[in-house]
Amino acid sequence: MSGHYLQSLLGDRETIILDTRHHWFVLASSIILEIVLILIIFAATLTGSIYLSGIQSTAWPIVAFGGFILMLIPITTGTRDILNWSNHQFIITNHRVMQISGIFNKSVIDSSLDKVNDIKMDQSALGRMFGYGNIEILTASELGVNLFKKIDDPVKFKSALINAKAYLEHAVEVIPETSTDVPTMISKLADLRTQGVLTEDEFQQKKSELLSKL
């Protein structure tokens, strides 16, 4: 479901470079209490049912049913936490960096790569050991800062973001101001459009700028 939603957000010739989530530590810390409660309720229900059935009591089915109902509470909240984790994504495309959250009601925050000014990574000693950390993205937009907390493999995320931004900037710089070979430049732009580096609108805009120089 989340994959179909992500695909619907992509623009023409926009491709996904990296798709990651919070580290599994985040999921484990959110469901550990539910797991403990499930085990306690299950053990108490099993013990009570065996004890009552041993003394030939008719109350053990009620105890077993009550325990099952109680277990539904941590099972439900744990399932919700798992869905929240799996639907919280951090994505880098060839045009922008995105953060998507929400199971049914979706929230999407994205920043164009050309507006990314700086990338800061923070990793504790434990984070370096288990492969998680925080990524802070400074942009020229009104929001200013996007903070991605405890994401999986932040080093890989930062490297992919730097490379995507550098590749996009290189694509913009393929048209020298002094160039007079307009057909060649338009051909290079078409190649970049085919590769997904430039959108159709960006291609047409650059093409018009070149043709105006003739």
CA distance 13 to 211: 23
Among 2-11, 136-145, 153-162, 184-193, top mean pLDDT goes to 153-162
Residues 6+ apart with CB under 8 A from 15: 93, 94, 196
Domain positions in the chain are 2-22+88-173, 25-85, 174-214
The answer to whether residues 105 and 87 touch, using CB atoms and an 8 Å cutoff, is no
> In this structure, is the dihedral angle defined by the CA atoms of residues 24, 121, 105 and 5, taken in order, positive or negative?
negative
Structure tokens at 128: 């370096």
CA trace torsion 7, 10, 11, 15 (10° rounding)? -90
CATH 3.40.50.720 fits 2-22+88-173, yes or no: no
pLDDT in tens, 157-186: 999 999 888 887 776 555 554 445 677 777
